[in-house]
Amino acid sequence: MKTKMKKIYLLAFLLTTMTTFAQEAEKSGKKEVKTCEIKEGFKEPERDKKTKKWAKQMNRFNEGAFPSLEDVKNHVAIDNDCDNSEVTLMRLSEQAGNGIYVYCVKGTQLKYKRMGTVIMIEGENPFKNN
């Protein structure tokens, strides 16, 4: 009787884990497109004092070592084949070596990340061969 119960529990466990992983695989394949709208009078956020100080120190020794918000915005505009005026910074979270930026580009919300001087769209694998 105990071995039969063990088999039933094992089978239930395996089926549960298989369906869970299958659902996660489905979700990872889809990209959710979020829309955004910039209201009149919206002011783009700026770096805090700590990050400004860090950027100033980094760029003093090595010009271009810490990209400005304008540099990131230019990258996003080029990446999405549009003009700088169509790109609006909605939110940002920065540390010394990395940052996350949420932009509204032509009515679509896009999330970018920065690791050092590398700027890429969130969820993109930089090592993936095309």
pLDDT digits (tens, 9 = 90+) for 20-71: 766 554 455 556 778 888 888 889 888 888 887 877 777 777 776 778 889 8
Q: Dmax over Cα atoms in the chain, in whole Å?
A: 75
What's the rounded Cα separation, in Å, for the pair 93 and 71? 16
What's the rounded Cα separation, in Å, for the pair 130 and 127? 9
- pTM score, whole prediction: 0.68
Task: Look at residue 61 in the predicted model and tell me its pLDDT.
Answer: 72
